[in-house]
Amino acid sequence: MAPIRLRHPTGVATIQVPFDDSQYTVQDLQQEIYAASQILPSRQQLKTGYPPKSLALVPELPVSSLGIKGGDQLIVGEGAEPASRVNPKPVTSPNVERRPLTSAPIASSAAPAQRSVRTAPPPSASSDGPVHVPIDGSVLIHRVVPDDNSCLFTSTKAQKMRQIVADGIRKDPETYNEAILGMPPSKYIETITKPSTWGGAIELTILAAHYRTEICSIDVETGRIDQFTAGPDSGVGGMRCIVIYSGIHYDAATLAPTLDAPSDWHQTQFPIVSTDTSDSILVAGKKLADTLRSQKAFTNTSTFDLKCEDCGQGLKGEKGARAHAEQTGHVRFGEY
């Protein structure tokens, strides 16, 4: 354990950080900062050094990804619903922007490999169809994807897309090293190719680059938009798709001429009109997330209640599940 000094809007504090614990993530640090400052992780803006430089916060990565050490001081600020663009090749410099999908752990494959978490039922549709938002004479529709641990990859092409991720890691060992992955690359590849393993920011980064399509993830709980770019040439003129993230599940957002249009009429890729979040399709996507939030269609994985399916012990959040798995070897958890 080593001390880190926090300077936040209402005072100063010192927290102890286990830098030698590879399982201690940026998300864990953010929760400690939240306890000291009452600034939600999704709104935290951290700076360090002189002159102060912003840190890129990827909750599921180990705290070592921040490049800080014991005795450092963090300046904690509060932002409002930040959005980010993520380069598909996060270099090894600790301060490069590698933003997460969400402030909560992203069902990360750095967490226990085998998990069976029962999610809440999908949001109820309105009387006139699924949750949707009108846009330019069409409708952006929330398309529920099966809750089968492959929601990020989609159930029909899951194994192929998992293999694309595995190949991307093999081809770029300098970028996807043990420090970034949170485990040896060979172990990560073994884990992510299993149907029971969830994917997250690393996977979206690789898939966006492979398909040359920007992937925008919209977090239901916070409304935050994270843009995983398609490469150095991405931008206006390129294409993007949208996924809706509930905290433990990904669904799709598709554009259709009417609510009852057949599935093959649904548009899943959209031209990039603006690289920021003012693009009309992203504005509509955020409104879609707002509607889902009003229906409580999200789960905060830091605070939700879990039960070990092997021994029945009650647990609190992703961190509690991880600790329990390390102590017992149990890896099946259910939400209740």
What are the CA-CA distances from residue 40 to residues 83, 104, 309 (Å)? Answer: 15, 11, 30
Does the annotation count 324 as an active-site position?
A: no
Does the annotation count 132 as an active-site position?
A: no
pTM value?
Answer: 0.59
Per-domain boundaries in the chain? 2-80, 132-294, 305-335
Q: What is the pLDDT of residues 67-80, one digit of tens each?
A: 898 889 999 988 75
CA neighbours within 13 Å on the CB side: how many for 270? 24
- The active-site residue out of 8, 28, 151, 251 is 151
Does the annotation count 72 as an active-site position?
A: no
Residue 105 pLDDT greater than 70, yes or no: no
Q: What is the pLDDT of residues 158-209, one digit of tens each?
A: 788 899 999 999 999 998 998 888 889 999 999 888 876 777 889 999 999 9
Per-residue model confidence (pLDDT) at position 275: 87
What are the CA-CA distances from residue 166 to residues 107, 161, 174, 193, 201 (Å)? Answer: 17, 9, 14, 7, 14
Residue ranges of alpha helices (H) inside the chain are: 26-37, 158-171, 178-181, 185-192, 201-211, 280-294, 317-328
Range of weakest confidence among 25-39, 68-82, 101-115, 257-271: 101-115
Topology of 2-80 in CATH? Ubiquitin-like (UB roll) (3.10.20)
Does the annotation count 151 as an active-site position?
A: yes
Per-residue model confidence (pLDDT) at position 82: 43
CATH class, range 132-294: alpha beta
Are the CB atoms for 217 and 226 separated by under 8 Å? yes
- The active-site residue out of 21, 136, 148, 276 is 148
Six-digit token pair at 35?
């306890």
Q: Which residue has the tokens 């021994």?
A: 311
Query: Which letter does DSSP use for residue 25 in this model?
Result: B
- The active-site residue out of 8, 132, 142, 249 is 249
Q: Which residue has the tokens 């926090």?
A: 6
